């Protein structure tokens, strides 16, 4: 019995084109799972990481819009402290102490949004009523969620 018969069926059961399409669909689904689960890229457990982020200069409306507490977004951000560290005519520089939900890699390194969380990394934080960008100036502590 030939592997592909005269009607184009593999082992007389499945059409070659159907087999190729089915194989492609399974491969796409598998790659989609890898992408959605972050490819098992060494990120294992979710932990809380407290960082200090310097933002600004901003107008007073920005510092007034940031409140302490959990932020009602899906990013797992909790604002612990907002400190105005420098006020000038162009605005205020803020130090935000925030707790972030990060993934801890197998080697113990924190990742936020798929990238290493390190001092001097720029973060964009959606704080509900306002979105701010700033750079990490201190990584304070890590605690299990």
**pTM of the complete model:** 0.61
- How many angstroms separate the CA atoms of 141 and 11, rounded? 61
Q: What are phi and psi of 135, to 5 degrees?
A: -110, 145
- Predicted confidence (pLDDT) per residue in 102-140, tens digit: 888 888 888 888 888 899 999 988 888 888 899 999 998
Model pLDDT for residues 24-70, shown as the tens digit of each residue:
889 888 888 776 665 555 546 788 888 999 998 888 888 888 888 88
Q: Do the beta carbons of residue 65 and residue 130 sit within 8 Å?
A: yes
Q: Which two tokens stand for residue 76?
A: 């797992």
Kindly report the backbone phi and psi dihedral angles of residue 48, in degrees, each rounded to the nearest multiple of 5, phi listed first. -95, 135
Q: Whose structure tokens read 């070659």?
A: 16
């Amino acid at each position: 019995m030939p592997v592909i018969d005269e009607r184009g069926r593999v082992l007389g059961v499945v059409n070659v084109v159907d087999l190729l399409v089915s194989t492609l669909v399974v491969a796409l689904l598998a790659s989609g799972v890898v992408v959605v689960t972050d490819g098992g890229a060494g990120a294992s457990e979710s932990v809380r990481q407290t960082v200090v982020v310097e933002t600004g200069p901003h107008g007073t409306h920005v510092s007034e819009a940031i409140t302490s507490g959990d932020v009602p977004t899906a990013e797992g951000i909790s604002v612990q402290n907002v400190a105005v560290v420098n006020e000038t005519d162009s605005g205020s520089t803020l130090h935000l102490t925030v707790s972030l939900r990060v993934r801890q890699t197998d080697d113990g390194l924190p990742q936020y949004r798929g990238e290493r969380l390190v001092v001097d990394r720029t973060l964009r934080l959606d704080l509900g009523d306002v979105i701010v960008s700033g750079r990490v100036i201190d990584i304070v502590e890590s605690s299990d969620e």
